[in-house]
Amino acid sequence: MTKTSRRDFIQKSMAMGAGIGLGGEVLGAPFSIGTGKSNDKIRVGFIGVGNRGTGLMHNFMDNEDVEVAALCDVYEPYLRRNVDLMHAETKKRIYVPDLSRKLSKNVKYYTDFRKLLEQKDIDAVCIATPDHWHAIQTIQAIEAGKDVYVEKPLTIT
């Protein structure tokens, strides 16, 4: 008979509790994989596509079930994915993310996140703006019926 550690017991109990709490959605998930239509991609809009936003966008793009639908940033070089638009001094002072990854020609570009949220064909948004914008953008995205990925801190107060 093997001895179960307290840590193993707690981890297994939490996993079982989560499975029961979420019901059939978790327990039936392995059986529903691949049953969707091939064109049922999750269309994601990215709000803030600087350093962190670009990294997150690349991670999302690695998933074949995700389509980048829109980008939003107030900084034109990041939004247009063009380092050549950046001032030479700016390139020396800040880290420039890899902007070379190609996007679909159907991607829409916005400088105002509210306009992106009005786009009905976007399923979810990824928010990677400065911290003081997280709360208002998250609230408005939820009110617009979007699923939201946002990292901590959610607010600064």
Q: What letter would DSSP give residue 63?
A: S
- Percent of the chain topping pLDDT 70: 82
When pLDDT is averaged across residues 114-132 and rounded to a whole number, the result is 97
Which structure tokens are listed for 37?
């239509």
pLDDT in the model for residue 32:
45
Domains, the chain = 1-33 (no CATH), 36-150 (3.40.50.720)
Q: What letter would DSSP give residue 153?
A: P
> Looking at the whole model, is its pTM more than 0.85?
no
| Cβ atoms within 10 Å, residue 9 | 10
Contact 55/125 with Cβ under 8 angstroms?
Answer: no
Can you tell me which residue has the tokens 């208002």?
A: 136
Confidence of residue 146 (pLDDT cuts 50, 70, 90): very high
Q: Which of 18-27, 33-42, 121-130, 132-141 has the lowest mean pLDDT?
A: 18-27
Pairing of strands 124-127, 147-150: parallel
